[in-house]
Amino acid sequence: MKDASPAKPYALHLGVIALLFGLSFVLPEYHHGLLARIMVLAVFAMGYNLLFGYVGLLSLGHAMFFSAGLYGAGLAVIHLGWSVPAAFAAGLACGALLALVIGLLALRTSGVAFMIVTMMFAQVFYLLILYFAAWTGGDQGLVVPQPMRVLVLGSTSFDLTNATVRYMSALALFSIVLLISLAIVRSGYGRVLVAIRENEERTKMLGFDTFSSKLAAVVISGSICAASGAAYALLFGYVGSSFASVQYSILPLLWVLLGGAATTLGPLIGTLFMYYVIDIASGYTSAYLLIVGIALILLVLFFPRGILGSIRQRWLGWLP
Amino acid sequence: MHFGPHLLLAALEGLVTSAVLALTALGLSLVFGVMRVVNVAHGEFFMLGAVLAWAISTAISGHPALGFLAALVLAPLIVGLIALVAERLVLRRLNYDPEATIVATIGMLYIIQQLALTFYGPEARPVEPPFSYRILLPWFGYSGYKLSIIAASALLLIATWLVLTRTKIGLVMRATQYDSETAQAFGIPVTRVYAGVFALGAMLVAVAAVLIVPISQAHYLMGQDPLLLSFIVVIIGGLGSLRGTVLAAVLIGLSDGIISVFFSPTLAKIIATLLVAMVLVFRPQGLFGTASR
């Protein structure tokens, strides 16, 4: 499968990136802004997918990694006055460190216990944000001041509040993470992860150190989610505790399930689809959580492979 | 008030919490023990029970005790029925796969919560207690109704224990819990047992909600805290162990009552959640449980 046509997947992914680049010039203003947000959140979903789709570890606490990046970057700008690249790095580092600690603890469990433990750690993180309201703004959240959101590269500076700059920054982050995850999935390490998902005991017997492979996967996944959170804080300028709530741990699960777990492009498709469904539905009703709930149940009942997973099974076996 | 009476008051409040918690956690523990399903929508059955109690007691005029008694009987039955339908339509089709059922019950949580918001509204509404007798202690007066909650919960727990250990239904349930395949081979209708257990778990938590609603209030988000606390109790007590569940409920209820009287409730929640996560990581069989099979 892998050696049949190594060029095809890369061509497809570069094509998707080119399409998103092209869309920037034709989309009307509203959808332009929405798509920038979707790309940042799709990065969150890709980080989640790496752990859930490829390693088979269902975490119910990924909101804490997203918000570690969100608060790491946001608070560094607001309280310490750091520049945009430094704040982004701070968010990324917070997420990676948190993921390392959580991974070391939570990976001692498996299955249902893993889900509950990750959910509880995320809950603690959420409550800590509320408890230190003097710094984090509690449930009101904080706004990152506009003059701070300027990226200075050499002699040129980019205003991240400008719609085009924002879209292109989101696209750059999305493209980098997409290509990284494609590379991981196609590497030997990616195959070990899938082997762990399929049969951990056998993988261990074959001489692989499954614990450190899983730990590395948690850290990579957490870092990607933190990158998404940091980008969200810097591009959209809002840091709030609702991003740390249980709901933001469930949403990436929903997006990945919908797009197709263990497919590299599934997270983008799932996020795009769900975001637009909710956006259109909220024009008619405020009960968008109802749609989330029904979508979750219908997906696990009738459509467990998701959109891309079904396409891969039927027609395109080479899809990564 | 001096420290002693203050502590007594905190302990009494804690015991009321424990009594309700024991019922909610018992429902969660039964469902997990017998079916191996983690029911994330458990807290929403609690909320449904409270909301239905409000609806039933306001629909019935006359003495408040009348409406309350009607709610105590009807609300659990309706909630049990809803749980039965959910089990038939969703959980059974998923073959009770642990991971798929978690995702599905998360879906149920959102659906029930949103429907409650749409039809019941965002307000918190009170239900009148069936009687308002105050017991006068030397330092303060205490609600007689709250003490009756403790008694009612204890009665229900004993009844459940008797059913589980002394009746044929209990035997069938325990056999299914121990080894569902062998139970099936001996002619036990396993899927019917599962449906019954899921409904029973929902009914227990609905009773707990009806009992608590006169002293708290019915609100569409009220299912969140009981869910988390029930998880904590079930994990500390050891999954599927009735004695452990009750012991842990008393422990958690008392410490929650006492800690939140003297410290910030948020801090209390942070410490409790962190401790429980650590128990799950380092002692997954629970503090009182035996090693899992």
Interface with chain A: mutation pick from B103, B231, B270, highest number of A CBs within 10 Å? B103
A92 falls within a domain: yes
Using an 8 Å CB-CB cutoff, list residues of chain B that contact chain A: 38, 90, 93-94, 98-100, 102-104, 106-111, 113-115, 117-118, 228, 231, 235, 264, 266-267, 269-270, 273-274, 276-278, 280-282, 284
Per residue in A64-102, pLDDT (tens digit) is: 999 999 999 999 999 998 989 999 999 999 999 999 999
Judge whether residue A223 has pLDDT over 80: yes
Task: Decide if B110 and A289 are in contact by the 8 Å CB cutoff.
Answer: yes
**Distance between CA atoms of residues A128 and B31, nearest Å:** 31
Contact B266 A253 (CB under 8 A): no
Task: Name which of B110, B269, B281 is nearest A127 (Cβ-Cβ).
Answer: B269
Please state the domain count of chain B: 1
Q: What is the mean pLDDT of residues A260-286?
A: 86
Residue A211's pLDDT band (cuts 50, 70, 90)? very high
- pLDDT at A40 (0 to 100): 96
Q: Given a cut of 70, is residue A297 above it in pLDDT?
A: yes
Q: Which residues of A touch B267 (CB under 8 A)?
A: 131
B289 vs A148, higher pLDDT: A148
**Residues of B whose CB is below 8 A from A295:** 107
Task: Express each pLDDT in A98-114 by its tens digit.
Answer: 999 999 999 998 877 88
What pLDDT is attached to residue B88? 93
Kindly list the distances between the CA atom of residue A50 and the CA atoms of A232, A308, B124, in Å, as whole numbers in the listed order: 20, 15, 42
User: What is the mean pLDDT of the segment spanning A35-61?
Assistant: 94
Reply yes or no on whether the pLDDT at A33 is more than 60: yes
Please report which confidence band the pLDDT of residue A2 belongs to, taking 50, 70 and 90 as the band edges. Answer: very low
Q: How far is B135 from chain A, CA to nearest CA, in Å?
A: 37
Q: What is the per-residue pLDDT for A141? A: 87
Residues in CB range of A235: below 8 A, 6 or more apart? A36, A40, A149, A160, A166, A169, A170
Cβ atoms of B174 and B112 within 8 Å: the answer is no
Distance from CA of B278 to the nearest CA of A (A): 8
Please check whether residue B228 lies inside any domain of the structure. no
Chain A hits for B269, CB-CB cut-off 8 Å, are 127
Burial (0-12, 13-18, 19+ Cβ within 10 Å), B26:
buried
pLDDT at B287: 64
Q: Which of A173-182, A286-295, B210-219 has the lowest mean pLDDT?
A: A286-295
Evaluate whether residue A184 is within a structural domain. yes
CA distance A99 to chain B (A): 16
Q: Distance (Å, rounded) from C-alpha B153 to C-alpha A127?
A: 30
Q: Which residue has the higher pLDDT, A34 or B228?
A: A34
Q: Would B179 be classed as within a structural domain? A: yes
Reply yes or no on whether the pLDDT at A308 is more than 70: yes
> Token pair for residue B59?
């629909």
Mean pLDDT of A242-262: 89
Does some domain include residue A18? yes
Q: Which is nearest to B242 in space by CA: B155, B149, B165?
A: B165
Decide if A277 is inside a domain. Answer: no
Number of domains in chain A: 1
If one compares B254 and A286, the residue with the highest pLDDT of the two is B254
Question: Which of A48, A110, A117, A139 to substitute to test the interface with B, most B CBs within 10 Å?
Answer: A117
Q: Considering only A55-59, A225-229, B97-101, B160-164, which range has the smallest mean pLDDT? A: B97-101
Query: Cβ–Cβ of B110/A124 closer than 8 Å?
Result: no
Residues of chain B found within 8 Å of residue A299, distances taken between Cβ atoms: 103
| DSSP-assigned states of every residue in A50-89 | IIIIII----S-THHHHHHHHHHHHHHHHHH---HHHHHH
pLDDT for A261: 87
Is B257 within a domain?
no
Query: Cβ–Cβ of A250/B106 closer than 8 Å?
Result: yes
Closest of A246, A197, A227, A199 to residue A99, by C-alpha? A227
Of A117, A295, A301, the CB nearest to B280: A117
Determine the 3-state secondary structure of B238 from DSSP.
coil
Length of chain B: 293
For residue B293, the model assigns a pLDDT of 40
Establish if A147 belongs to a structural domain.
yes
Q: Say if B31 falls within a structural domain.
A: yes
Report whether pLDDT(A319) > 80: no
Nearest CB to B270; choose among A113, A127, A297: A127
Using CB atoms, pick whichever of B107, B235, B267 lies closest to residue A297.
B107
In a domain, B139, yes or no: yes
- Specify the 3-state DSSP secondary structure of B268: helix
- Domain span at residue A179 reads 7-244
- Cα separation, A159 vs A182, in Å, equals 30
DSSP label at residue A162: S
Q: Give the nearest chain A residue to B111 (CA atoms).
A: A290
SS3 sequence of A101-155: HHHHHHCCCCCHHHHHHHHHHHHHHHHHHHHCHHHHCCCCCEECCHHHCEEEECC
Q: How many residues does chain A have?
A: 320
Mean pLDDT of A1-20: 78
pTM: 0.84
Domain span at residue B158 reads 24-223
The predicted pLDDT at position B1 comes to 62
Mean pLDDT of the residues in chain A: 89
**Residue A80 to chain B, least CA–CA distance (Å):** 26
User: Hey, how many other C-beta atoms are within 10 angstroms of the C-beta on A256?
Assistant: 27
Q: Does B107 reside within a domain?
A: yes
Residues in chain B predicted with pLDDT less than 50, given as ranges, are 291-293
- A319 within domain boundaries: no
Segment (H or E) for B269: helix B265-282
